[in-house]
Structure 1
Amino acid sequence: MADTTASSPGANCMEKLKSYVKTQKGFILAAEIFISLIVLICYAASLYGGYSAVAICEMIFAIVFFGIFMMELDKQIQVVNWVWSDLFRAGIGAVLYIITSLICVIGGAGDGARIAGGVFGLIAGLLFAYDTYTIFLQIKSTRQHTAASTDDRV
């Protein structure tokens, strides 16, 4: 007979998801995934679908990092420095979103979906830039500074 009092792995994963989204980093990553999906839909509906590659890549990277941080795999897999990897992901995402969004907004005359994707892309660029800033502050606060010796003797 199956034990009905034991928790299922799916429920445990759902609890981790709910608790991680309530954290600041989890909320930022969830917002990045959501805004990337909106940008992807707008770019896919426009006449120039090539700009959707940035949204696809950044959404996939955000989903991967969301899963890694939610399941706390960053503490188990110590080969990769996850904080610095996340900093590069967010920084590159911010730059790419801002560049492609400015191109779409400036040159999107007559294509409303492209302009909408560009506007949402600018919002995504600001969100990724904010994520980069919070990660930078985290790195800055965890770095240990040793005081210089004031002793004149060698």
Structure 2
Amino acid sequence: MADSERFSAPGCWAACTNFWRTRKGILLFAEIVLCLVILICFSTSTSAYSSLSVIEMIFAAVLFIFYMCDLHTKIPFINWPWTDFLRSLIAAILYLITSIVVLVEGGNSSKIVAGVLGLIATFLFGYDAYFTFPLRQQRHTAAPTDPTDGPV
């Protein structure tokens, strides 16, 4: 296949949209949307906690683009499974802490909604961390137990 055929618009579009159908693509898209909704809730309540949503939304969008366009295979010096795992684990921890603080602090209804959505984001990012844990994905092959055919 020639380079012009491989990078043509329909072929490139199909390669990019195939990622949307994977579990990882759905998780990253849900994280982006949830971070955007939490950001809107924090913005309407004039809360100072909106930076967490902005940072996590940017990180999720960057990884979404990298995975969707298959750029992670072209940058081999970054360990992508560990990068993604640590991103989602740190996000889950930070959302848990922020949500607890916001809910204990109280305030107007949009701040409370942001706190509840932050708890939902904690579970979403936690599930993503569990799903992308690199050591869980490694498969060990059993050592051969058959006797060798050579002289004994």
Normalised TM-score (structure 2): 0.82
Residue 102 of structure 2 is matched in structure 1 by 104
Structure-2 change in CA distance of 1:102 and 1:72 (3 Å): same
Tell me which of 58, 63, 72 is aligned to 2:70. 72
Decide whether the 8 Å contact of 1:32 with 1:59 is kept in 2: yes
List alignment gaps of at least 5 residues for structure 1.
1-5, 148-154
Query: Is the aligned partner of 1:126 residue 2:114?
Result: no
Confirm or deny that 1:141 pairs with 2:141.
no
Aligned position for 1:30: 29
Specify the alignment match of 1:3 in structure 2: none
The alignment's C-alpha RMSD in Å is 2.3
| CA 1:10–1:103: 2 relative to 1, 3 Å | farther
- The aligned amino acid for 1:77 is I
Count of residue pairs the alignment pairs up = 140
1:114 aligns with 2:111: yes
Q: Assess if the C-alpha contact under 8 Å between 2:89 and 2:129 holds in 1.
A: yes
What's the CA shift string for 1:78-124, capped at 9, x where partnerless? 01001000000000000001110111111123x11111111111101
In structure 1, the residue matched to 2:51 is 53
Q: Name the CA distance, whole Å, in 2 between partners of 1:36 and 1:12.
A: 31
Does the CA-based 8 Å contact 1:42-1:116 persist in structure 2? yes
CA distance in 1, matches of 2:122, 2:38: 11
| Overall identity of the aligned pairs, in % | 38
**Structure 2 unmatched runs, 5+:** 144-152
SS of equivalent residue, structure 2 residue 46: coil
Find the counterpart in structure 2 of residue 150 from structure 1: none
Deviations 1:47-66 (A, max 9, x none): 32x10000000000000000
Rounded to whole Å, the distance in 1 between the matches of 2:82 and 2:142 is 21
Amino acid at match of 2:76: Q
Q: Quote the offset at 1:21 in angstroms.
A: 1.2
Whether the 8 Å contact between 2:43 and 2:50 is mirrored in structure 1 is: yes
Give the CA deviation at 1:74: 1.1
Distance 1:7 1:80, change over 3 A: closer
Deviations 1:1-43 (A, max 9, x none): xxxxx89866555433432111000000000000000000000
SS of aligned partner of 1:74: helix
Alignment correspondent of 2:81 = 83
